[in-house]
Amino acid sequence: MNATDRTPADLLRSALAADPGRPLVTFYDDATGERVELSVATFANWVAKTANLLQGDLAAAPGDRVALLLPAHWQTAVWLLACSSVGAIADVAGDPAAADVVVSGPDSLEAARACRGERVALALRPLGGRFPQPPEGFVDYAVEAPSQGDRFAPFAPVDPEEPALIVAGAEYTGAEVVERARADAPSLDLTGPGSRLLSGLPYDTWEGLSAGLYAPLAVGGSVVLCRRLEQLGEDALAKRIESERVTASRH
């Protein structure tokens, strides 16, 4: 990655320029058997579409707060990078009542209704499937995102020194996210390009976000993101580590 990268969105742009075809996020849901692998290019395409939805249809601007009521999931990773692209603050498990936009999974829709701004619902179904019936008062992400543009340009430049992330009560600027992610890499046994980290940590702490997205992205590595990993036995986990060519794990 480039030393000039100052925001998570910068890290993604550098990854795209370096090797767009390599895997970036491989997601497992061990309750459903779902497996999704996203290359850098595919992930970046989802980020661009989501950022266009956020900035265009939802009218989010730099400094706006986006409450993410979502589990560790590949679509959550997309939203984190989309917020960075727009300059909005990704407030992980944040208070919907204090947010300008709320993005909710199927299990937190009632809590999300406290948001007086725009509301987006994610079904979190395999292959990015939509809700059978769209939740009343919400935009269905799976319906709206695919038609968005494949390229994104922010209306205003994103300031790396402005708040970009809130998690577990701590606030970080975009530059701090990048710096902390790079600093975490050695302790996560991420040695650079080719490193592949399996993470079963939830996304509601900095440690989970760093292992599950930011640190691998910062060093040119990739992540095998596992939701509900506790449902996998030790033998099956060992086989996954081998088959996915994992070089380090945190769970």
pLDDT single digits (tens) 23-33: 999 999 999 99
pLDDT at 250: 96
% of the chain surpassing 90 pLDDT: 95
Pick 192 or 79 by higher pLDDT. 79
pLDDT at 152: 98
pLDDT at 83: 98
Provide the pLDDT confidence category of residue 131 given band limits of 50, 70 and 90.
very high
pLDDT at 180: 98
Residue 1 has pLDDT above 70, yes or no: no
The listed CATH number (3.50.50.60, 3.20.20.450, 3.40.50.12780, 3.60.21.10) that belongs to domain 8-250: 3.40.50.12780
pLDDT at 134: 87
Residue 179 has pLDDT above 90, yes or no: yes
User: 3-class secondary structure for the chain?
Assistant: CCCCCCCHHHHHHHHHHHCCCCEEEEEEECCCCEEEEEEHHHHHHHHHHHHHHHHHHCCCCCCCEEEEECCCCHHHHHHHHHHHHHCCEEEECCCHHHCCEEEECCCCHHHHCCCCCEEEECCCEHHHECCCCCCCCCEEHHHHCCCCCCCCCCCCCCCCCCEEEEECCEEEEHHHHHHHHHHHCHHHCCCCCCCEEEECCCCCCHHHHHHHHHHHHHCCCEEEEEECHHHCCHHHHHHHHHHCCCCEEEC
Residue 59 has pLDDT above 70, yes or no: yes
Provide the pLDDT confidence category of residue 128 given band limits of 50, 70 and 90.
confident
pLDDT at 164: 98
Q: Where are the domains of the chain?
A: 8-250
Residue 89 has pLDDT above 90, yes or no: yes
Residue 3 has pLDDT above 90, yes or no: no
